Chains A and B, each alone.
Chain A
Amino acid sequence: MSSTLCDLCHQQPATVFVTKIVNNHTSKHRLCAECARVSAGNALEAAGEFPDVSHLPLEDIVKNLFGNDSLTLWGKNAEDVEIESDEVTEFSWTMGLGEFPGDEDAVDEIDEADEFDEEAGIDGSMLPSAEEMFNGASSTQAFEDIAGQLRGGNGFASVRCPKCSTTWDRLRQDGRAGCAQCYSTFADQLAQVMERVQRASQHAGKAPRTAEKRHRRLLHLRARRDHRLEMLNRRLEESIAQEKYEEAAKLRDKIKILTSTIVDE
């Protein structure tokens, strides 16, 4: 466990462990002390307060991160605060403190709570996801906040952007896409996020002239296809009326092919 790295900075060993359970879906998050503090600071700043987080007791940091409605449990090990999953009602959180195996004294230091000891950690328990801590100090964090709530579905966890191999999890954590193609790879997820972060999920402003040209050409092609379909349909009706079944069969095939032609970008 001690080798686990922080979800946010990917550099420091994680000492704050967070587990979120919604509808029996479990998601785990790991943070280092520094990131937890920074996140708490951001959360407080978003609420219009500017405390000196560096001296805030860990307990307060955790409260700020996970909200006041969280049920807080303190314990030495993960087992101390382990809760059977059926006991957990939806959206109720518990948390606990533990330490790395073999580091018995660490917990006492945390209970004193003046200095957050890097060696000590918060351990496995039921908490809101890391993303919920990042409420809106910056736009990136607002994005992460909302993107985090989309985790539930999880069917796309393994999907990677074919160009830069970014996963949705990575994008969500970074708050940034890896390349332009990420936007088409994760179009559905992003559209949901945009609905909430932005005012809509459809662009309404300036477009590059090339994009405009492409768009016009597309409309033109579609119009031509529709026109041809209409002609063919009319001829089909005529040939049926005239009982020319051989010709009708040919026309029907043509129509089939044309209908399945998708004029798209």
Chain B
Amino acid sequence: MTTPPLLLSCFERTAKWMRRGGRDTDVVLSSRVRLARNLRRYEFPHRATTSDLLTIRHRVWQGLHATGESSGGLSDARLLPFEEFTGWERQSLIDRYITSREHIAEEIGRGVAANADASLSVLVNEEDHLRLQSLLPGLQLDAAYHLVDRLDDTLEGYFDSRGGFAYSDTFGYLTACPTNAGTGVRASVMLHLPALEIVGKMERSRKWAEEKHLALRGSFGEGSRVWGHMHQLSNQVTLGVDEAEVLLDTESAARELCEMERRARASLSSDKWHNEVRDRIGRAYGILRYARHIGCREATDCLSLLRLAHELNWAKGLSRQRFNELLVWIRPAYMQVLHGRSIGSTERDTLRAEMLRPHVARVRLDAVFTALVPEKKAPPQGTTSNGKATPKVSAPPTVES
């Protein structure tokens, strides 16, 4: 195996999920499907010996190479053993939504194999020996599942003669944490829900998802406070249901959340919210446009509001793809990867403001923002909300009991 080059050259700056594609992209940023698999012969990563961990990783590398074409584009994938990277380089993998905090905390025997646009990847020795993962733009869980399913078949064929995957007829695919056993499928959808947060319906939505055995969390880690109105919807049940059902349940719930968000967005034009929302968006624009230092959290929140303005047709100038890109590019670890060196937080804040300014300069807010005399009347419904969303607002599925 050749030494991997600097992490930046391993990946395209614009990941697959940031681009166009999938449905409901006015609300949904990305769809992810993860499959948990373990090799029968070895103890689970948190108990395995170092030599076992290294063997497992080596086997996975070999498996991906040996299976060639059928491994879904991972045969020539970048293989990234964590020992060869600095802390912030590993951290940047979290920023890119590739792996988890727990995974990068350990380095020996851990690693990631991913294709250049990160649409398909294998996490080695995370909580389980293998986590096959695909990450696609918009809402398209079925397509994402199809990718990992193929990779799963391929790797299964490879490991068959080498002990095989840990599987039992009762508990399905066996995983380190019994809450993943069964299908081992974790389907998650990243949603941008600013309007639901503003009108205060987030808690209700969370409970509603819970009743459907789905978790709706802030997308930056469990329990942590939500940044930039980004939420992650994912299935909780993995045993007793088949893959199709999990995908269907998660996707239909995601779609209902989209409808709820669209209705909430439409209501932002009402007298009750109009001024407040305009105020918040205006402030966000001002900060992004003129700030000289800006923290990641503040920038994320401001970008989110600016994105909302675009979705409401109150502003023009930035594409969804650019918003997705900026969301990752302003993350602390990723910025250091971009610059190829370790950077202190003060300098990062300056560089972040510099990076954002030219993009935000392209944004044109609509006339109401710049009018000297405050306009009392809210703009008519049809023109304010997103063109795509408006026709659907009239026939929403009733969600709340």
Which residue numbers of A lie inside 8 Å of B, CB to CB? 41-42, 45, 48, 50, 137-140, 142-143, 163-164, 166, 174-180, 183-184, 187, 190-191, 193-194, 197-211, 215, 265
Contacts and interface: CB of A to CB of B under 8 A. Distances in A.
A179 B44 contact: yes
Contacts of B203: 48
Contacts of B180: 139
**What DSSP secondary structure best describes chain B's contact surface?**
loop
Contacts of B175: 177
A211 B149 CA distance: 16
Contact of A206 (B171, B223, B242): B242
Interface of B: 38, 40, 42-44, 46-47, 127, 149, 152-153, 156-157, 160, 164-183, 185, 203, 206, 213, 222-223, 225, 236-243
Given A198-B182, A206-B149, 13 more contacts: A139-B179, A140-B179, A143-B179, A174-B46, A176-B127, A177-B177, A183-B166, A194-B240, A199-B213, A203-B170, A203-B182, A203-B183, A205-B243
A196 to B, nearest CB: 11
Contacts of A265: 169
A11 B153 CA distance: 41
A199 B225 contact: no
Contact of A45 (B44, B152, B223): B223
B40 A180 contact: yes
A176 B176 contact: yes
Contacts of A137: 222-223
B179 A42 contact: no
19 contacts: A48-B203, A175-B178, A176-B176, A177-B177, A179-B47, A180-B38, A187-B170, A187-B171, A194-B239, A197-B178, A201-B240, A202-B239, A202-B240, A203-B169, A203-B182, A204-B172, A205-B183, A206-B149, A209-B157
A176 B46 contact: yes
A210 B174 contact: no
A95 to B, nearest CB: 26
B239 A42 contact: no
Contacts of B167: 207-208, 211
A139 B177 contact: yes
A107 to B, nearest CB: 32
Contact of A199 (B168, B174, B239): B239
A137 B221 CA distance: 12
A164 B43 CA distance: 7
Contact of B242 (A143, A176, A205): A205
B127 to A, nearest CB: 8
Contacts of A183: 166, 168, 171, 174, 178, 181
B284 to A, nearest CB: 23
A163 to B, nearest CB: 7
Contacts of A204: 172, 182, 239-242
A197 B165 CA distance: 23
A208 B170 contact: no
Contacts of B168: 180, 183-184, 203
A199 B43 contact: no
B171 A203 contact: yes
With most chain B CB atoms within 10 A of its CB, the pick from A143, A163, A178, A183 is A183
A50 B240 CA distance: 33
Contacts of B225: 50
Given A176-B176, A177-B176, A205-B182, A48 B206 contact: yes
A219 to B, nearest CB: 12
Contacts of B240: 194, 198-204
Nearest to B153: A209
A209 B40 CA distance: 15
Nearest to B152: A206
A139 B184 CA distance: 13
A180 B225 CA distance: 35
B43 A203 contact: no
Nearest to B165: A208
A253 to B, nearest CB: 33
A57 B25 CA distance: 45
B238 A198 contact: yes
A202 B170 contact: yes
A200 B239 contact: yes
A188 B40 CA distance: 20
Contact of A209 (B149, B156, B223): B156
Contacts of A184: 168
Contacts of A207: 167, 169, 172
A143 B185 contact: no
B42 A179 contact: yes
A177 B239 contact: no
B252 to A, nearest CB: 17
Nearest to A191: B170
Contacts of B157: 209
Contacts of A194: 171, 178, 181, 239-240
A212 to B, nearest CB: 10
